[in-house]
Chain A
Amino acid sequence: MSKQKGRAQERGLAVMSPAEPLLEVRWKPDPGSFRDEYFKFPLLGMGQFTGRQGLDIDTGRLVDFSISAQVEVYGLWHNVARVDTAHQDVHLHQLSRTGASIAITVLWPIFGPQDVDRGWVEGERLLIANWDEHVRRWRGGR
């Protein structure tokens, strides 16, 4: 093989090397960059939603949150389910009568405030749509 032909073939070769791993850089707001505002939505004859909004101090944008679905038993409020943004994921927690998480569903990772906002929308939708199921499971001790 001539030197010229060998170089031409060499130029046409595909580079076979391991793919570079995709960097998943999760996002969380800087401590001190947001303020917490608390809310409660009493649902007459049903229970209530309570929770917290972490709002960016400069922009007012939602950067962190927690929403709990609660029922009242003998004057005490109990969490039956919760959606929150702890650990840089949006999670749905199903809670037992002792308050422990018996199932945690990761809805999606948080790469920016847009994922937090999307989590608020989907989280409240899940808590509302599955209200009966969450309450029934909690009352059944599961």
Chain B
Amino acid sequence: MDARQRARMMVAHTVFQALRSADFRNDTPETNASGERVIVPALLDDTMGEFFDQFVAAQGTIYIAALEGTDVVVITMAPAHTARHAAPSEEECPIHRRTELAMVIEYLRARRRPVKFCEAPSNVLLELVDERPAVQV
């Protein structure tokens, strides 16, 4: 294993430990088309295109987990459902396939609401798990 692979395995280890906790499982409830909870152990300089490929393969929601120091940051990548006749959004999207994960985390923190991933052929919503509102409506 090279240094990046070791770092990725460290994230995987952290996710394994987190998955023992009911709170973590409750925060990551969605599964893919096969009924699996998909969590991608990520490094902060991984690019979004790699996660999008995982999202396409999963055919459903995936979670991206990374370490910031000793803290685990989790992002949800979920199918976005828009109304069939909704007007296209004028909002500029700063996230592209080559955008690094660290930038996306910072952007989501600053924005404090989900963001759409623009280069996807299907709509994808990105959201920070730990900054979700306590009650989903």
A residues with CB within 8 A of B = 37-46, 49-50, 53, 55, 60, 62, 67, 117, 120-121, 124-125, 128, 131-132
Instruction: Enumerate chain A residues within 8 angstroms of B19, measured Cβ to Cβ.
Output: 39, 53
Contact partner of B25 (CB less than 8 A), chosen from A37, A38, A50, A125, is A37
Tell me if B115 counts as interface (CB < 8 A to partner A): no
Q: How far is the CA of A114 from the CA of B32 in the complex (A)?
A: 30
Instruction: For the complex, count residues of B whose C-beta is within 8 A of A.
Output: 28
Question: Given the interface contacts A37-B25, A42-B54, A43-B41, does A50 sit within 8 Å of B36 by beta carbon?
Answer: yes
Closest 6 CB pairs of A and B: A124-B16, A60-B22, A38-B36, A40-B36, A39-B37, A40-B38
Q: How far is the CA of A38 from the CA of B22 in the complex (A)?
A: 14
Question: Given the interface contacts A39-B19, A41-B41, A132-B1, does A49 sit within 8 Å of B36 by beta carbon?
Answer: no
Instruction: Enumerate chain A residues within 8 angstroms of B5, measured Cβ to Cβ.
Output: 43, 45-46
Contact partner of A43 (CB less than 8 A), chosen from B12, B32, B36, is B12
Tell me if B20 counts as interface (CB < 8 A to partner A): yes
Question: Given the interface contacts A42-B54, A132-B1, does A121 sit within 8 Å of B38 by beta carbon?
Answer: no
Task: Give B110 Cβ to nearest chain A Cβ, in Å.
Answer: 26
Q: How far is the CA of A44 from the CA of B65 in the complex (A)?
A: 12
Contact partner of B13 (CB less than 8 A), chosen from A37, A46, A128, is A128
Instruction: Enumerate chain B residues within 8 angstroms of A49, measured Cβ to Cβ.
Output: 12, 16
Nearest residue (CB) in A for B50 is A44
Tell me if B17 counts as interface (CB < 8 A to partner A): yes
Interface string of B1-31 (1 = CB under 8 A from A): 1000100110011011101101001000001
Q: Are A44's CB and B8's CB within 8 A?
A: yes
Q: How far is the CA of A127 from the CA of B130 in the complex (A)?
A: 28
Q: Are B50's CB and A120's CB within 8 A?
A: no
Task: Give A99 Cβ to nearest chain B Cβ, in Å.
Answer: 19
Q: How far is the CA of A117 from the CA of B19 in the complex (A)?
A: 11
Nearest residue (CB) in A for B12 is A41
Nearest residue (CB) in A for B51 is A44
Instruction: Enumerate chain A residues within 8 angstroms of B41, measured Cβ to Cβ.
Output: 41, 43
Task: Give A41 Cβ to nearest chain B Cβ, in Å.
Answer: 5
Q: Are B15's CB and A41's CB within 8 A?
A: yes
10 further A-B contacts with Cβ under 8 Å, apart from A120-B16, A120-B20, A121-B17, are A40-B37, A40-B38, A41-B38, A43-B9, A43-B12, A44-B50, A46-B5, A60-B22, A124-B16, A128-B9
Nearest residue (CB) in A for B8 is A43
